[in-house]
Amino acid sequence: MIVLGISCFYHDSAICIMKDGEILFAGEEERFSRLKHDSQFPSLALRAGLDHCKIEADEIDKVIFYEKPFLTYERIFETIMELAPRSFSLFYDSLSKIIKNKLFIKSTLRKHLRKTLKNEDYVIEFCEHHYSHALSAFIPSEFEEAAILCIDGVGEWDTTTVWHGKDGVISKKYSINYPHSIGLFYSLFTEYCGFKANSGEYKMMGLAPYGEPIYVDIIKDNFIKVHEDGSIRLNTQNISADFRSDLVMSSLDKILGSKKRDSEDISQFYKDIASSVQQICEEVVEKMIIFALDKCNSKRICLAGGVALNCVANGKIAKKIGAENIWIQPAAGDNGGAIGAAMSGWNKKISNFRPTLGTQYSSEKIKNIIDSKSLKYQEASVDLIVNDIINKKVVAIFQGRMEFGPRALGNRSIIAKSAEPSMKALLNEKIKKREGFRPFAPIVLEKNMGKLFKDAYKSPFMLFTQYSIGNIYSATTHVDGSSRVQSVSEENGLVFDILNEYESRTTEQALVNTSFNIRGEPIVESPQNALDCFFDSGIDSLCLGDFYIRKSDNNKDFIFFESREFLKD
């Protein structure tokens, strides 16, 4: 049976194609539409998925949507009634979107699917939002039995849920309902600190180590009550239950003090706020995990939902309950809901999950594109790449299948020297254009993790921060000594070979790995995207499949680098 899982119409739209319990393909719409966090129906990702799997459109048996829109409608309608008449603006904003896309969701889905799937014999089903998160965390995990904790902004009514998983089947044990949401709480403060909600949360997390948690008490007194079991109550007097941004911001200004917000030049006040909010988040997540383990009488936990991407909180939990007892879905946000939806009804575990589930391009296709632009290239080799890195060049890697989820894990990555004091500034100035306070992440061979990090453990999907021993890897070590490290094994292919060769020639054991994109743009998907990004940035060399292109070998006429405005992300 071929099943299509879909998540869309909120943010990070995605699809997943499963056949008899095997994930054949998963992809986010943003990679194809080139609109970051694209929320539209994922038509382009679907087309790419069908092509990749060589599946004919009429072979899809079932389509499963990652949410039950009627329950979402009920939640929004009740919130409106509770806050009327002030909530009429919410009525128009939210309900018009819902009516347009979700209320008549079956016909909306069929209308979009009709453009790609020629017949209409498939069945359309719906699964609860947190059920799809929970499946995406448990079914591909390494555990036969585990507690499952999903924490996000909101899905239908749920903001936090605990499930128990055993032998491929999950059952719900507990939930916290809207508006009491640690995810929405974190997003509000993300916006308060001048970042974009629903995408800037990882920047808040990166900002936190620069501050002191001196506002924890005042935030807890006025905005959030944290109970011993990790459950929370938001103070809806100060955080309006519809989370209307202008009202909440003025309430935060009134209680915490109005200060000029500027995400490019952040004052100490906002660093302290970030530190305080991060501390509260860590406290809640830790308590919830202990509660979930206890509730399910389990020793192991699986995590999903956007809050599960808080790798600082994850690192602290790993230390407490043992990293071997945690498994986190790398696409923990709503994109991963497409995977969970596709798994709905499967009721069996799947093994050997890897997040490299996207498109792949043949050597022939890549060569045709390179030749069409008359670019000079060499045959790619580990030797060429390592030579360039040693010479402090920045190398982009495009190989194998695209990663699904927010992290580039070596297939769509930019690699550079980490033990180089100027590298962070150079990467920011020439390529990433991002805020200077944010560190880059390292890749380290699994066998070397213990040499570089205290209490080290495997972290193949870059979901935990660990604390460095020493500080020679300056580009990838945060101000508090932490690193969001990816441990690399043979399964990672080229980056594994690069790290091995680099170590043998330099004795250095870490390199920078940052996603292959420039600020405001999604990670590159195609060879054309890769070439555009390469020539539109300060990247020195590009390993494009089997071909190695150096900017210095190519005539400047081919270089379309120009000064440009970067979208805020």
Closest-by-Cβ residue to Fe ion is 152
Query: Contacts with Fe ion: how many residues (CB under 5 A)?
Result: 3
- Beta strands in 249-384, from DSSP E residues, in sequence order: 301-304, 326-328, 378-379
Which residue blocks in 411-558 are alpha helix, DSSP H? 423-427, 449-452, 494-506, 527-535
CA–CA dist 295, 100 (Å, integer): 40
Residue 547 neighbours by CB under 8 Å, 6+ apart: 366, 367, 370, 377, 378, 379, 380
**Nearest 5°: phi and psi at 473?**
-90, 70
Interface characters, 175-214, with Fe ion (x: CB under 5 A): ----------------------------------------
User: Which CB sits closer to Fe ion, 201 or 334?
Assistant: 334
Q: Closest approach of Cβ 67 to Fe ion, in Å?
A: 9
What is the footprint of Fe ion within residues 370-429 (CB under 5 A)? none
Q: Closest approach of Cβ 436 to Fe ion, in Å?
A: 31
Pairing state between β 2-7 and 62-65? parallel
User: Which CB sits closer to Fe ion, 183 or 527?
Assistant: 183
Q: Closest approach of Cβ 102 to Fe ion, in Å?
A: 15
Q: Closest approach of Cβ 184 to Fe ion, in Å?
A: 11
Alpha-carbon torsion (202, 207, 212, 215), positive or negative: negative
CA–CA dist 463, 308 (Å, integer): 8
User: Which CB sits closer to Fe ion, 159 or 468?
Assistant: 159
Amino acid identity, position 523: I
User: Which CB sits closer to Fe ion, 140 or 211?
Assistant: 140
User: Which CB sits closer to Fe ion, 27 or 155?
Assistant: 155
Strand partners, 166: 145, 169
User: Which CB sits closer to Fe ion, 242 or 334?
Assistant: 334
CA distances from 53 to 59, 258, 360, 529 (A): 11, 54, 11, 22
Strand partners, 487: 444
288-314 burial by CB neighbour count: b if 16+ within 10 A, else e?
bbbbbbebbebebbbbbbbbbbbbbbb
Q: What strand order describes the sheet that includes 14-19?
A: 22-28, 14-19, 2-7, 62-65, 123-126
CA–CA dist 309, 128 (Å, integer): 21
User: Which CB sits closer to Fe ion, 67 or 540?
Assistant: 67
User: Which CB sits closer to Fe ion, 153 or 410?
Assistant: 153
Q: Which stretch binds Fe ion (CB under 5 A): 30-38, 145-153, 254-262, 381-389?
A: 145-153
CA–CA dist 391, 469 (Å, integer): 25
Q: Which stretch binds Fe ion (CB under 5 A): 150-158, 414-422, 500-508, 527-535?
A: 150-158
What is the footprint of Fe ion within residues 311-350 (CB under 5 A)? 334
Q: Closest approach of Cβ 129 to Fe ion, in Å?
A: 6
User: Which CB sits closer to Fe ion, 72 or 79?
Assistant: 72
Q: Closest approach of Cβ 542 to Fe ion, in Å?
A: 35
Task: Determine if the peptide bond prior to 85 is cis (ω within 30°).
Answer: yes
**Nearest 5°: phi and psi at 550?**
-105, 140
- Decide if residue 152 touches Fe ion (CB under 5 A): yes
Q: Closest approach of Cβ 149 to Fe ion, in Å?
A: 13
Q: Closest approach of Cβ 334 to Fe ion, in Å?
A: 5
Which residue blocks in 428-561 are alpha helix, DSSP H? 449-452, 494-506, 527-535
Residue 173, helix vs strand vs coil: strand
Q: Closest approach of Cβ 73 to Fe ion, in Å?
A: 17
Q: Which stretch binds Fe ion (CB under 5 A): 137-145, 146-154, 342-350, 403-411?
A: 146-154
Q: Closest approach of Cβ 133 to Fe ion, in Å?
A: 6
Q: Residue 113 has what DSSP assignment?
A: H
User: Which CB sits closer to Fe ion, 152 or 503?
Assistant: 152
Number of CB atoms found within 10 A of residue 123's CB:
10
Q: Closest approach of Cβ 306 to Fe ion, in Å?
A: 6
Q: Which of 214, 238, 213 lies closest to 225 in space, CA to CA?
A: 238
User: Which CB sits closer to Fe ion, 152 or 201?
Assistant: 152
Q: Closest approach of Cβ 166 to Fe ion, in Å?
A: 23
User: Which CB sits closer to Fe ion, 30 or 334?
Assistant: 334
Q: Residue 526 has what DSSP assignment?
A: S
Q: Which stretch binds Fe ion (CB under 5 A): 149-157, 268-276, 282-290, 560-568?
A: 149-157
User: Which CB sits closer to Fe ion, 152 or 242?
Assistant: 152
Q: Which stretch binds Fe ion (CB under 5 A): 155-163, 344-352, 391-399, 477-485?
A: 155-163
- What are the residues binding Fe ion (CB under 5 A)? 152, 155, 334
